[in-house]
Amino acid sequence: MDGLVRLLELAYSARSVSVVDVMRLGFEREVQEERDRVAYLDAIIQELEFCSSDMFVAQLVVELRSGDGVVLADSIMYFKAIRDFEAEKLANMQLSLDASALHLGRCMQFLARFNAM
């Protein structure tokens, strides 16, 4: 049921009943959500790196004990790994979106040639 509601919402937002338009809008939304996710992870990493470079600020944020610096460094590496994965996923989605647009263009050319006959 959720899939049907999402499909109807996409069709309404695309202002089209064309399957191609609806699918393209849905995929563009996925790409935007992925961009937002990467930006969010970048912000987390910047905050963690700021805290690790200035331990006084980190101590104000949380009470650090001996050995907590290692945990902070591990957190930075963890979020960087997630960010790198999400950035690669975003790049792959962008390639797929470009390929989809190219395929759509070819289909439209074929249709135009077919209609011209």
Q: What is the pLDDT of residue 56?
A: 60
Alpha helices by DSSP H, listed for 15-67, are 19-53, 55-61
Domain ranges of the chain: 31-116
Q: How far apart are CA 62 and CA 71, in angstroms?
A: 12
Question: What global pTM score does this model have?
Answer: 0.53
CB atoms within 10 A of CB 51: 21
Low-confidence ranges of the chain (pLDDT < 70): 1-5, 7, 17, 50-70, 114
Average pLDDT of the chain, as a whole number:
74
Taking only the tens place, the pLDDT of each residue in 60-86 is: 555 555 566 667 777 778 888 888 888
